[in-house]
Amino acid sequence: MTDRSLAMGVDVGGSGIKAAVVNTDTGELLSERLRIPTPNPSTPDRVSAAIGRLVRRLAKGTNLPADVSVGVGLPGVTIGGRLVTAANIDPAWVDYPIADKLSKALKRPVSIVNDADAAGIAEMRFGVGAAKRGVVIFLTLGTGVGSGVFVDGMLVPNTEFGQMEIRGRPAERRSAAASRVRRGLSWKAWAMDLDEHLQRIEDLMWPTLFILGGGVSKNADRFIPRLTTRTPVVAAELRNDAGIVGAAIVAAEGLADAATTFDDLRGSDGPEGPRGD
Ligand code: BGC
């Protein structure tokens, strides 16, 4: 194992923050997997302090070399080291320079990535998506719904299928796993809502495969057989560790460096950016 295949992965979720040291060549965890509750309110200050504690604890426990980098999966669109949306986390996250602040505090390189993109990266490399070509859409069904789109294994970053509007609301309000519990729905009733969401996505994207992840995928037999999409649907295999492993891969391989910055998106010619014509 080279140093380039060693990184720490952190997954910031609605209820818990999880972290471990990862061998990114094999997807194996090289440390215990730590989990602490997500602070409430989940402000950037409080969450970064919690991430700092986890990283220091793991680094100490594993004698991690000082230059080993940290990848952090966050529930929003991640561009230029910041979140630019915050549907399921405190709004103070928008524009907070988290990658910069954390790398200064931890004295290590820190990359951030959308949490669903991270879990999808891990699933496409070590899980049910391995070697799957074509357009594969990975969705995590948790507090919200996150998405990762892969074309021949390559990520199209920052898709937000949880936020597409269905029946006048963000789709995740009905199809997230938490929404089944919140509304006290049977698996059957919730599967119908999820089915509608998947059908809307497949009509726009025509994917070759849907992979459904998140904690709820351990109950896949209760809802996947009820789905009526034309696209095949399978459950993710990696479960709890996918977000950690994917965030570590992003850090180890510098994947986030390839992402556009928000300024690039806006262009340098004023708010509208350069015209393409
Ligand atoms: C956010 C996504 C995130 C997903 C899962 C959604 O509310 O918009 O960015 O991936 O939740 O955490």
- pLDDT, tens digit, for every residue of 113-171? 999 999 999 999 999 999 999 999 999 999 999 999 999 999 999 999 999 999 999 99
Whole-number Å distance, alpha carbon 65 to ligand 1 midpoint, is 32
Q: Where in the chain is the domain with CATH 3.30.420.40?
A: 3-117+241-266, 130-237
pLDDT of residue 261 exceeding 80, the answer is: no
| Contacts of residue 197, Cβ cutoff 8 Å, sequence gap at least 6 | 145, 161, 164, 166, 171, 174, 175
pTM recorded for the entire structure: 0.93
Question: CA-CA distance, 251 to 111, in Å (whole number)?
Answer: 6
Atom of ligand 1 nearest to the CA of 88: 7
Q: Tell me: cis bond preceding 41? Omega within 30 of 0 counts.
A: yes
pLDDT in tens, 201-238: 999 999 999 999 999 999 999 999 999 999 999 999 99
- CATH class held by domain 3-117+241-266: alpha beta
Whole-number Å distance, alpha carbon 116 to ligand 1 midpoint, is 7
Residue 85 tokens read as 């949306």
Whole-number Å distance, alpha carbon 76 to ligand 1 midpoint, is 5
What is the separation of C-alpha 275 from the centre of its chain, rounded to a whole number of angstroms? 32
CATH superfamily of domain region 130-237: ATPase, nucleotide binding domain (3.30.420.40)
